[in-house]
Amino acid sequence: MAQHDRQFGIVGAGGIGSFYAMKLLNAGHRCVMVARGKRLGQLLESGLRLSHDTQYHEVPCPSACDLSQLFEHYTPGQFHALALCTKSSATKELAGAIAGWFARCNATCPVISLQNGMDNESTLAGALPRNCVFGGLAVKIGAHLTADGSVEAKGPGELIIGPWPKGSPDRVPAEVSTAFEQSGAPIRISNNIQRELWLKLAINNGVNPLSALTGLDTRSLSREPPFAPMVYSLMQEVAIAASADEVLLTRQDIDDMYYLIRSFDAIKTSMLVDHEQGRALELDAICGAVMSRHQRLGIDAPYTRLVYALLSQMPGSVQH
């Protein structure tokens, strides 16, 4: 199959998945968006609609499908890559389904996790050929799905991608990095994506739970008392947790991440949006990843444990 006949699969059509699908589609690349239920109906009926900063984009999505249709009508060789943009609670089941698809087709393709948390890539690597698994993260971006099926996004949406857990940047397929460069999304290829994911978790653990508890955006939390010191302490607990995975995050690393979130646009976190819309929160992916590593090290993570406990009391809040 010729390179120009291949496409990208975006599994999960929430804020982040829709944002990058739109970037690729606007740059002339083909995308199959994988969604379910109401969201799939919105894509098929109204297409993909996204407001990014001051611009509005709208494109039809006739190839949108659910996961079973993806496996039925496509083969892995038809894709440059699959980008997983689902909630982390779906990763284990998704990894098994993709592994079965690979086996039936006797073919593979790169699988890039763009999900929150620290355990998605290791779960994927346990089910799929290890050289297929790539870690990724979206930074300097806030994107969420509104009730009418449109997406509101803010920020440049920089992508960082790399082989899991580390490896030569040359392992990232050139057609993947080139496509995102053409889309206008800033992209950086990392030789230590596990460390990059821990750095992002420092920000997520610092502001996401507190935002769901308080209703405040990232700038308000990180710049104003009494929450700013709490944000920093939550980020410090991530640095300790990372050592359980033999990843070193220094005081300077945490300072850099703290000043990044303080200086960036005010963002409504995904956890706050989930709370407002009555969806389960990704507590296990974010706070749980920190607490489990602290437990492995035999020490406590009091700030993370407290926000986890408070949010766990909200009906239907914990996503397992």
- Which domains, and CATH codes, for the chain? 3-191 (3.40.50.720), 195-312 (1.10.1040.10)
Q: What is the pLDDT of residues 139-188, one digit of tens each?
A: 989 899 998 999 999 989 999 999 999 999 999 999 999 999 999 999 99
pLDDT, position 320: 47
Q: Comparing 49 with 278, which gets the higher pLDDT?
A: 49
34 phi/psi in degrees, rounded to 5: -110, 120
Does residue 41 register a pLDDT over 60? yes
In the numeric block, which tokens belong to residue 194? 């596990």
| Whether the model pTM is above 0.75 | yes
pLDDT tens, 225-256?
A: 999 999 999 999 999 999 999 999 999 999 99
Mean pLDDT over 50-64 rounds to 93
pLDDT, position 238 = 98
Answer for the pair 177, 189: CB distance below 8 angstroms, yes or no: yes
pLDDT at 1 over 90: no
Output the CA–CA distances (angstroms, integers) from residue 274 to 150, 212, 224, 226, in the order listed. 16, 8, 23, 24
Which of residues 224 and 198 earns the better pLDDT score?
A: 198
Rounded to a whole number of angstroms, the CA Rg of the chain reads 19
pLDDT in tens, 128-147: 998 999 999 999 898 999 98
Q: With 70 as the cut, is the pLDDT of residue 74 above it?
A: yes
